Amino acid sequence: MMDDSVRMLVVDAANVVGSRPDGWWRDRAGAAHRLLTGVAALRAQLPCEVVVVLEGAAKAVDDNTFRNLRVVRAAGSGDDTIVAVTAERDDRTQVLVVTADRGLRTRVEALGARTTGPRWLLDRIDSARNP
């Protein structure tokens, strides 16, 4: 699903972390840190800007080690923050949002962005870790 037309990848961290079947999400801050570590490692393979939106307990993550990512802490709703980040882009058809949240998908697709599920990102992170 990632092609050259994607200029910005927006990751709904809470949704990606919560979608893991292995209980990874029980420690939200730790899970967010592991997700950021995986996305940062994958970043070299992604030909676009990468934005990770953190909310709730995940906002406590120290993002100083993730300088190749744009980390945005949601002041309120993570969904509203993701919509705002998506809306920043002039050509929203160049935005790919990673989320399984159907309501959020509907909102960003109405702006012209594309969406994909968490498995898309998690599979790429796993592949980068285990080549």
Q: How far is residue 56's CA from residue 89's CA, in Å, rounded to a whole number?
A: 25
pTM, two decimals, is: 0.88
Residue 53 binned pLDDT confidence (cut-offs 50, 70, 90): very high
Q: How far is residue 59's CA from residue 13's CA, in Å, rounded to a whole number?
A: 10
Least confident of 18-32, 64-78, 81-95, 97-111: 18-32
